[in-house]
Structure 1
Amino acid sequence: MPRLVFAVNFKAYETAFNEKSLEIAREASKASSRYGNVRVILIVPAAIASKVLQIYDDVYIEHADPVDYGAYTGYLPAKAARLLGVRGILVNHSEHKMIYRDVAKVVETASKDGIETMACADTPGEAAGLAYLRPTYIAIEPPELIGTGVSVSKARPEVITEGVKAVKAVADIPVLAGAGITYREDVVRAVQLGASGILLASAVMKAADPDKALSEFVDALSSVA
């Protein structure tokens, strides 16, 4: 069985930019070594990627733009990911939506450079459409549950089961589940419903002890891997 994935989206929380981000990276390194059946991915702002990479190397950036190098003030070309030294790009998150052709451009550019992509979908239908682009991973997160503490695996389990089915009908792409994942049982249930891993943010980034929270979630995934 392929390794399950635990991905933490740092977003723009204060903990993403202070010393906590490095503590999380240190714990990710430990957890990755401790639990060989779980891949831990840290999805960070491009501005701190170099700092995190000094501690942990399985790092994605949170977004990239469908532009090449040139006169694009304030943009981050997808091709720059390779120069940053990261392994992948998160694309089309519900907080940073893109039109389909732009997602396609980022995925295509990244793939040519050997960079992974994790494409986000709000619904199973959107996930199926993204599957045709062949990203490395697809993450399904109902936006109305993000940050609520109400887990998709409890409140909307059909989103996971239908999403996995819809994607697998197109391509063999691992599907991650996210939105409201807060407790160990949320993680376990998501995998039981067919998810190949978890994408979350606030349950780690806003925790009183973020590195401990990360370790406990990875342990939960390892128990069902």
Structure 2
Amino acid sequence: MFVLLNLKAYACDPVEIAAAAADVADETGVRVAVAPQTAAIGRVAETGVETWAQHVSGVGSGSHTGSTLAEAVADAGATGTLLNHSERRRRLADIDAGIRAAERAGLETVVCANNPRQIAAAARLEPDAVAVEPPELIGTGTPVSKADPEIVTDSVAAAGDEVPVLCGAGISTGEDLLAAAELGAEGVLLASGVAKADDPRAALEALVEPL
């Protein structure tokens, strides 16, 4: 199982969380990655944790003020990027351009989508993985695997055999992680369950303990 922790713009210490994630990954053998704010990518990567960008723009170098270049985050230490998170939705053409930009920079990609229909469309763009996240469940502590398991199973079917599916929205416990796996997901995408925890290391340890 792949655990991808999105720190969003939370008031947390990204380096502290990244160091904890690196330790948990080393101790358990579970693949854990952290996606901090762009400005913190270099510091997070220095902890040795697998580091992802929260977004890259579908452009190359040039006159693109305010854009996030895939090459820039790769140079800073990122090895992957989220695209089309529900808090940063893109048009299909922009998602496609983002995937291509990430490919040029050697970044792995996870494209987020709200439902199985969108998962099907995203999978056809050939990202490395997709993540299903009903926006109404994000940050609620109620995982989609419990609220509506068919969204996960239908998304796995919609993505096909070539594109792995991650389960997001409301994931916070080891029980949630196991439920996602039983529904066919190959990983989880989570945020507040760890980033806003009083003890992020303990939260991560509890999350992966069932594995």
Please state whether the residue corresponding to 1:76 is helix, strand or coil.
coil
Q: 1:12 pairs with 9, 13, 16, which one? A: 9
Which of 166, 185, 188 lines up with 1:195 in the alignment? 185
Give the whole-Å Cα distance in 1 for the aligned partners of 2:187 and 2:76.
Answer: 25
Q: Give me the CA root mean square deviation.
A: 1.2
Render the CA deviation track for 1:100-147: whole Å, top value 9, x for unaligned.
011101111211332111110111111111111111111110000001
Separation in 2, partners of 1:190, 1:64: 27
Gap regions ≥5 residues in structure 2: none
Spell out, residue by residue over 1:39-96, the C-alpha distance to the aligned partner (whole angstroms, 9 max, x if none).
1011111110011111124100101111221222211123323222210111000000
Letter aligned with residue 23 of structure 2: K
Contact 1:81 1:115 in 2 (8 A): no
Are 2:83 and 1:91 equivalent residues in the alignment?
yes
Q: CA deviation at 1:182?
A: 2.6
Report what 2:200 is aligned to: 210
SS at match of 2:86: coil
Name the CA distance, whole Å, in 2 between partners of 1:80 and 1:102: 18
Distance 2:68 2:103 in 1: 16
Secondary structure class of the residue paired with 2:68? coil
CA distance in 2, matches of 1:55, 1:85: 11
Match of 2:156, SS state, is helix
* Residue deviations 1:10-32 (CA, integer Å, cap 9, x gap): 000000xxxx3222111111111
Question: How far does residue 214 in structure 1 lie from its aligned partner after superposition?
Answer: 1.2
Match of residue 166 from structure 2: 176
Contact 2:58–2:100, Cα closer than 8 Å, also in 1: no
Alignment of 1:93-172 (within 5 A): 93-168=85-160, 171-172=161-162
- The match for 2:22 among 21, 29, 39 is 29
Whole-Å Cα distance in 2 between the matches of residues 187 and 217 of structure 1? Answer: 7
Instruction: Give the TM-score of the pair, scaled to structure 2.
Output: 0.95
Q: Which sections of structure 1, spanning at least 5 residues, go unmatched?
A: none
Give the fraction of aligned pairs with identical amino acids, expressed as a percent. 40
Alpha-carbon deviations, 1:136-178, whole Å to 9, x = none?
111110000001111111001111000001101xx51111001
Letter in 2 for 1:61: A
SS of the counterpart of 1:8? strand
Runs of 4+ that moved beyond 4 A = none
Question: Could you tell me how far apart the structure 1 residues matched to 2:58 and 2:119 are?
Answer: 20
More moved, 130-139 vs 70-79: 70-79
Q: Structure 1: how far apart are the matches of 2:43 and 2:104?
A: 26
Q: Report the Cα distance in structure 2 between the residues aligned to 1:204 and 1:85, rounded to whole angstroms.
A: 22
Q: Which residue of 2 aligns with 1:60?
A: 52
